[in-house]
Structure 1
Amino acid sequence: MSEEIPLAPFLYDGLDPAPEPKSTTAEVADLVRGSVRWVSDTIEAGRKPGMPLSILTNVAREAPLGSLLIAFLLGVAIGRRRAR
């Protein structure tokens, strides 16, 4: 009965080695990889049948000159709005 049973789990204060700090370039590279993965996943999701990129692709394939005209007019409208 002289042995004491600990009531709480063992706590290690500072016994684990500190994690190695990442260099700034490694952190930036990880962020860029994550961003690229997110953008490519979003584009792939938009290309599924019935999604907006799929519809735009089909419209551009069927009527390339009409799509070019619409894109040009949208660009002019947005350009004029920002120029003011």
Structure 2
Amino acid sequence: MSNETFETSPQPGIAERALDTATDMSHSLGEIVGTLGAAADRLSEAAKEARRPGTALSTLAAITREAPLASLFVAFLFGVAIARRG
């Protein structure tokens, strides 16, 4: 019989695993923040484009300014109709 000992590769400790996990989470959060920022920029640009005079959104905004209670009532009825369908 041989008295040879085999060296095994050391397992990473809990601190190393926690640090790796935190680093991975940091990278993931950075990607998420970047993606959300880009989406918000695109949405802002689309809203700005939709508010140009003569578009549907500008017309809706004008109607809402002229008759806010009537617009609220129409929005409420629309919401009720959508809720009953689902």
- TM-score of the superposed pair, with normalisation by structure 2: 0.66
Structure-1 residue corresponding to 2:23: none
2:70 equivalent to 1:60: no
For residues 1-84 of structure 1, what are the structure 2 equivalents within 5 Å? 23-82=27-86
- TM-score of the superposed pair, with normalisation by structure 1: 0.68
- Matched residue type, 1:55: T
CA distance in structure 1 between the partners assigned to 2:46 and 2:29 by the alignment? 25
- Matched residue type, 2:48: E
Question: How many pairs are equivalent?
Answer: 61
- The Cα of 1:23 is off from its aligned counterpart by 1.5
Which is helix-richer, 1 or 2?
2
CA distance in structure 2 between the partners assigned to 1:41 and 1:54 by the alignment? 15
Report percent identity of matched pairs. Answer: 39
* Structure 2 unpaired stretches of 5+: 1-25
* Structure 1 unpaired stretches of 5+: 1-21
The list of structure 1 runs, each at least 4 consecutive aligned residues, that deviate by more than 6 angstroms after superposition, is none
